Homo-oligomer: A and B are copies of this chain.
Amino acid sequence: MKVGIIGFGYWGANLVRNFANLAGAELKRVVDNRSERQKYLANLCPSAVFSTDPDDILLDPEIDAVVIATPVFTHYELAKRALTNGKHVLVEKPMVSRISEAHELMELSRSSGKVLMVDHTYLYTGAVQKMKQLIDSGQIGNIKYFDSTRINLGIFQPDVNVLWDLATHDISILNFIIGNEPKSVQATGISHTNNGIENIAYLTVNYGNGFIAHFNCSWSSPVKIRMMLIGGDKKMIVFNDLEPTEKVKVYDTGYEHKTDEEKKNILVDYRAGDIYIPKLDTREALSLMAAEFRDAVTTGKRPLSDGVSGMKVIEILEAAQHSIKNKGIEVDIRRNS
């Protein structure tokens, strides 16, 4: 598999490092419009050629697979052009800025038979894989809520709000490990700049089945928090991504309610028992993601973070965008299928 990477910024450099070292893949060319990045590439991967025109990759018949790590608003055009030119495509998260673009890319992928994959790196971490296993095994029980806080003093993105930047991660995890189909969303937030792009935002996703998800995202916090609570009716999980090793804690904690018929009272039984901290796979998630892309391209295996998973994240983000700009009204998730 011969690979070209478009976009050689902070994350692009991580992609270069991983594809340069990926067995069964050859990193042929890296494109970035800042010509001064050439020197850095020479350092990082001397065998790859640098240039500034994406077409050097998109039109190169030798290149099988294109990795797109440019700003969000360029994803759609580049991915479309890559698929149209018969390339397999791996695109950074979030996949695109509009759900209609997501559907178009998925259709192109289907018709061309080329892979469309999104780099939701988190899905490949030991922590998320372990949480998925725990939930699938049934020991957590029915999941009742998902609550994520992802805040820090972060770079204000010029084109997308903080949900598109940060909640993307959490929504991809939510969709992966819970798998429920959302009914509607509500979002509130605030912009402290004069471009109207929210630097703080809160998102509720409703499911209509006793499960709820909530996201608190901010680029304006003095402290960094990466914490996720997942409550089941048997056990509960706390995922603190800032812990060096003890990231996932499973609490044998719960509550059961019964109605006291006579007195019409609610009786709730509480339980707080042992806690279990599983050992996690510590392999680099990005290298596993790169390998998944290679396998999808070379063997036809459907990747974990395929176009559908990318699209389902966009569904929620686009609806959230609509809500946040309309006084936080409830916005339905309309699945167009």
Contacts and interface: CB of A to CB of B under 8 A. Distances in A.
B210 A222 contact: no
A195 B153 contact: no
A212 B229 contact: no
A52 B173 CA distance: 48
A328 B330 contact: yes
A265 interface: yes
Interface in A258-311: 259, 265-266, 268, 270, 272-279
A276 B274 contact: yes
B253 A238 contact: no
A273 B189 CA distance: 26
Contacts of A221: 147, 229, 231, 236
Interface stretch (A60-68, A82-90, A117-125, A200-208): A200-208
Interface of A: 46, 144-145, 147, 149, 151, 153, 155-156, 158, 186, 188-190, 192-195, 197, 200, 202, 204, 206, 210-212, 214, 216, 218-224, 229, 231, 236, 238, 242, 244-246, 249, 251-253, 255, 257, 259, 265-266, 268, 270, 272-279, 327-330
Given A192-B257, A249-B277, 7 more contacts: A144-B220, A145-B190, A145-B200, A147-B221, A204-B328, A222-B236, A223-B238
